[in-house]
Amino acid sequence: MVAHDNIHIPKESFPNWIWYVIEVSLVIVISFAISFKVAESFEVTPDVGNWILTGTFGACFLIWFIIIRGLILKKKILRNKY
């Protein structure tokens, strides 16, 4: 039963998965920017630079989703609504 059917509630009408797409996109862009700056600061061969770039990107991504989002914010990525 709806108490006020003339009031728009964004949480009920806006798909929840879009917030996850926005969040993942932002984390990917920020992680890539950080990893590019870190890899650029080392004077190494391109092969080693690619490893530094990939490792830093993965570390930033995991730090956000495992440590910050999972432990500090206590929000599960995949949770059952029902």
How confident is the model over 58-72, as pLDDT tens digits? Answer: 999 889 888 888 777
Taking alpha carbons only, the member of 35, 29, 31, 33 closest to residue 52 is 35
How confident is the model over 40-55, as pLDDT tens digits? Answer: 888 888 889 899 999 9
- What pTM was computed for the model? 0.66
Cα-based distances in Å from 72 to 5, 23, 52, 59, 64: 37, 16, 27, 17, 10
